[in-house]
């Protein structure tokens, strides 16, 4: 299946991209995909990064072809 990943904030910075399209095999939940995407990235607190699938905040959903996944870290600046 093909899934589009959107990166935000310091996740985008660590991944050095705002978006990428991944070809994935097998059955994968949103949080499993998050772990895969963040693996190896220099992000101190990966737990704080939230996941949205098709513009809905949800980490338990099983992904399907054509899904858009957003990885959202909290921002603090003001």
Residue ranges binding other proteins (CB under 8 A): 6, 8-10, 13, 18, 44-45, 47-48, 50, 52, 55-57, 70, 72-78
Largest separation between any pair of C-alpha atoms in the chain: 42
| CA 60 from centroid of its chain's CA atoms | 13
Instruction: State which residue, 26 or 44, has the beta carbon closest to other proteins.
Output: 44
Instruction: State which residue, 18 or 36, has the beta carbon closest to other proteins.
Output: 18
Shortest separation between residue 25's beta carbon and other proteins, angstroms: 27
Instruction: State which residue, 1 or 10, has the beta carbon closest to other proteins.
Output: 10
Nearest to 8 by CA among 67, 45, 51, 56: 51
Shortest separation between residue 30's beta carbon and other proteins, angstroms: 13
Task: List CB contacts of 20: < 8 A, sequence separation 6 or more.
Answer: 4, 5, 7
């Amino acid at each position: 299946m093909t899934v589009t990943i959107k990166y935000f904030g310091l996740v985008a910075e660590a991944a050095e991209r705002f978006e990428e399209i991944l070809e994935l095999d097998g059955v994968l939940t949103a949080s499993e995909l998050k772990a895969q995407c963040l693996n190896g990235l220099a992000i101190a607190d990966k737990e704080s990064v939230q996941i949205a699938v098709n513009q809905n905040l949800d980490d338990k959903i099983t992904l399907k072809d054509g899904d858009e996944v957003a990885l959202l870290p909290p921002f603090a600046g003001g």
